[in-house]
Amino acid sequence: MDAINLKQPELYINRELSMLEFNRRVIEQAKDTTVPLLERLRFLCIASTNLDEFFEIRVSGLNQQVKYGSVQTGSDNLPPAEVLNRISRLAHELVADQYRVLNEILIPELADKQIRILRRKSWRPKLSRWVKRYFNRELLPVLSPIGLDPAHPFPRVLNKNLYFIVSLEGKDAFGRDSGYAIVQAPRSLPRIIPVPKEQATGQYDFILLSSIIHAHVDDLFPGMKTTGCYQFRVTRDSDLFVDDEEVDDLLRALEGELPSRRFSDAVRLEVADNCPPDITNFLLHHFGLNENALYQVNGPVNLNRLLAIHDLVNRPDLIYPGFIPELPRRLVKHTNIFETLRNGDILLYHPFQSFVPVIDFLRQAAADASVLSIKQTLYRTGNDSAVVEVLKEAARAGKEVTVVIELRARFDEEANIELASNLQEAGAHVVYGVVGYKTHAKMILVIRREGRQLRRYVHLGTGNYHARTARLYTDYGLLTCDNAIGEDVNKLFLQLTGLGRASKLKKLLQSPFTMHKSMMSYIQYETKCAMEGREAKIIAKMNALVDPEITRALYEASRAGVKIELIIRGICCLRPGVPDISENIQVRSIVGRFLEHTRVFYFFHGGEEIIICSSADWMQRNFFHRVETCFPIEEKRPRDQIIKFGLINYLSDNTQAWLLQADGTYKKIKPGSNKPRSAQEACLEQYCQ
């Protein structure tokens, strides 16, 4: 092959812009008429939540780089200031599209189904009187309007909370006439308020809390004239800083940092689109933002709140049909999970297969007198976690329970601090992993005495121990008592809880030590096979591909003739379809009912067909700054299951798949004359009732 510079910036897509392209695909789900109506509303809300986090973390980080004069660039060589400009253009397009979809498509279609969000101009006298009573009873006692004057400076505005800026005329009882006041919407009250059936004219009528405040804002300023009332919301930098070199107690350090998230630097200002320029400029100046950070919207400034309608409306015909996840036959026939695993591994494919066996695995371990210890990593668990309750029961029963909790799981820090305290009170040993490295590996280790020997039973997963997301995310979990895997997992827990050098592992790959090197080696072996004229193939499914070395290795493999199929839900910095470089690479994204979260890597490997599942994406942070695990799938039945339903099935999807183009945009695949095929629907048909 002729030498080509594979580091040239044109070969790499900017990761932030790629993330926004993913959000575009989510918004497209809200337009898809084949998706149930309330689910389309949910997708629109998810897009809003995604944008919130994008600004809180990614945009805030770029702002910091610009603030301190950093010229650091990624593989695409775009300086931070230019990335921010491009983000602003694309994000404004996406937000405008979101509100267009809401106002012109979803609200009218919901109204046709007797689900209405009532604007003030449509309120009839009877409803207006009810709203007035609701305002006086629920809102007026808890509202605290703040007039802006020297004695009342601009209040501290909470991250992502709803506020109103009110313009006023006249003087109050003390002769003050500042002109502006700030009203905070109470966080304790719902943003979507169902109208009682006595006042409603349709099956499901709702009023926004913001509409009620707008309608009665005059009551907050008696004797004065309100000349305008405009909702606004500020998004702030939410990336917590903990100095890894100086910290002595990670839990205490995070507890000290969490309050700062509410009042850190502003990164975005959302205001109603009817807000006059003088007021928007006043707000921009106060929060230290430029016009690129201003988003004027025709509707609620926080679309996420509309998600409540999905739960408040009982219309099964407007949501995805329910399903009962499959319980593997072997677990139906044999309820003793330890006995079952001694006869072979069990691979679970969530949400199509039940998460219950994972809880039962822990529950049986907690109740079994032969079980000596349970060790587990926890990254995200959710409220009222059955997993956590079982761990507490095991600790109270005298088992040696050790839990590695990642306190820095983004936006779950507070919940994980409370979780750590609860487990410690129950008698569990709680550690926080390794300072400087997030513990993202998903592992359970149960040690059981069986005769004269101790046997290790293991669960390894691609997703979190979170029962709710196990019904919403696609993930793999492996239950096994393989000796080598058990030894490897035991060594990993010793690393996380103790001190010492990394031990050599027999079957698992581990970040930050062996995973990146091994993945490079697998890719390079396929390249070697292709150059020798042998069959070579790579299929990789993950959430994100960012690492530049892996990307260059894939380019080299493609140039050698390796057929490469990538199924990447979100960020992809690799540019497919570039002549002489990536012509043999195809990248697709599946966006559907379930969030694609499995990480599976297939290498033909000279006919050996290696299949590896992982907790890690192909990103620098996963390879070098986290504790991650990759685990092989070796038994024939689960291997065949992954190849057929977890990979080939997704490569044949022609209804929910998007192909990445060389210019960084995505094009949706259409069935055309072929039979429509959805990978997720095929899995539901295969596994579920």
pLDDT of 571 > 60? The answer is yes
Confidence (pLDDT) at 188: 85
Please give the structure tokens belonging to residue 648: 């080939």
Report for 33-47, 49-63, 164-178, 242-256: range of highest mean pLDDT? 33-47
The residues facing 129 across adjacent strands are: none
d(CA 150, CA 173): 16
pLDDT of 33 > 70? The answer is yes
More confident residue, 173 or 143: 143
- The pLDDT of 11-26, averaged and rounded, is 96
pLDDT of 499 > 90? The answer is no
Q: How far is CA 213 from the centre of its chain?
A: 32
Q: Which of 256-265, 464-473, 643-652 has the lowest mean pLDDT?
A: 256-265
Confidence (pLDDT) at 201: 85
Is the CB of residue 475 less than 8 Å from the CB of residue 463? yes
580 CB-side CA count, 13 A? 6
pLDDT of 541 > 90? The answer is yes
Is the CB of residue 39 less than 8 Å from the CB of residue 603? no
Please give the structure tokens belonging to residue 483: 């000796």
Q: Which of 225-239, 388-402, 408-422, 505-519 has the lowest mean pLDDT?
A: 408-422
pLDDT of 260 > 80? The answer is no
Here the contacts of 408-415 (C-beta below 8 Å, separation 24 or greater) are 408/240, 408/242, 408/250, 408/254, 408/438, 409/379, 409/380, 409/438, 410/57, 411/53, 411/238, 412/379, 412/380, 413/240, 413/254, 413/258, 414/258, 415/381, 415/383
Cis status, amide bond into 351, omega within 30 of 0: yes
Question: Could you tell me how many helices (H) and strands (E) the chain has, helices first?
Answer: 23, 27
Please give the structure tokens belonging to residue 379: 């990254």
Helical (H) or strand (E) element with 477: strand 473-480
Q: Which of 41-55, 188-202, 276-290 has the lowest mean pLDDT?
A: 188-202
586 CB-side CA count, 13 A? 13
What domains sit in the chain, N to C, each tagged with a CATH number?
Answer: 11-318 (3.30.1840.10), 329-505 (3.30.870.10), 511-687 (3.30.870.10)
pLDDT tens digit sequence for 224-238: 889 999 999 999 987
CA-CA-CA-CA torsion sign (416, 419, 425, 430): negative
- The pLDDT of 656-675, averaged and rounded, is 95
Q: Percent of the chain at pLDDT above 70? A: 93
Helical (H) or strand (E) element with 349: strand 346-350
Total residues belonging to the chain: 689
Confidence (pLDDT) at 408: 64
pLDDT tens digit sequence for 545-554: 999 999 999 9
Confidence (pLDDT) at 88: 97
pLDDT of 202 > 90? The answer is no
d(CA 49, CA 43): 10
Alpha helices in 561-626 (DSSP H): 620-624
The residues facing 629 across adjacent strands are: 510
Confidence (pLDDT) at 411: 56
pLDDT range class, residue 176, cuts 50, 70, 90 = low
pLDDT range class, residue 241, cuts 50, 70, 90 = very low
Mean pLDDT (the chain, rounded): 91
268 CB-side CA count, 13 A? 31
57 CB-side CA count, 13 A? 11
d(CA 304, CA 30): 14
- The pLDDT of 579-589, averaged and rounded, is 97
pLDDT of 682 > 70? The answer is yes
Please give the structure tokens belonging to residue 577: 């379809």
Give the N- to C-terminal CA distance of the chain in Å, as an integer.
52
Please give the structure tokens belonging to residue 223: 């004797």
Is the CB of residue 614 less than 8 Å from the CB of residue 477? no
Confidence (pLDDT) at 175: 63
Instruction: Identify the DSSP state of 618.
Output: B
pLDDT of 360 > 80? The answer is yes
Report, as residue numbers or ranges, the catalytic residues.
440
More confident residue, 461 or 150: 461
Owner of token pair 């031990």? 503
Please give the structure tokens belonging to residue 676: 């429509």
- The pLDDT of 643-666, averaged and rounded, is 97
Helical (H) or strand (E) element with 86: helix 80-100
- The pLDDT of 21-28, averaged and rounded, is 97
Q: What is the DSSP string of 515-541?
A: HHHHHHHHHHHHHHHHHTT---EEEEE
Confidence (pLDDT) at 257: 44
CA distances from 236 to 8, 75, 157, 232, 293 (A): 34, 27, 10, 13, 11
297 by Cβ neighbours in 10 Å (0-12 / 13-18 / 19+) ranks as: buried
Report for 79-83, 653-657, 685-689: range of highest mean pLDDT? 653-657
Confidence (pLDDT) at 263: 53
C-alpha closest to that of 639 among 668, 674, 670, 601:
601
Dihedral, CA of residue 450, residue 456, residue 462 and residue 464, to nearest 10: 70
Confidence (pLDDT) at 150: 61
- The pLDDT of 7-18, averaged and rounded, is 95
- The pLDDT of 357-369, averaged and rounded, is 95
Confidence (pLDDT) at 502: 76
Confidence (pLDDT) at 250: 43
CA distances from 677 to 32, 654, 674 (A): 16, 6, 9
Instruction: Identify the DSSP state of 218.
Output: G
Q: Which of 136-140, 370-374, 383-387, 499-503 has the lowest mean pLDDT?
A: 499-503
Confidence (pLDDT) at 413: 64
Confidence (pLDDT) at 151: 60
pLDDT range class, residue 242, cuts 50, 70, 90 = very low
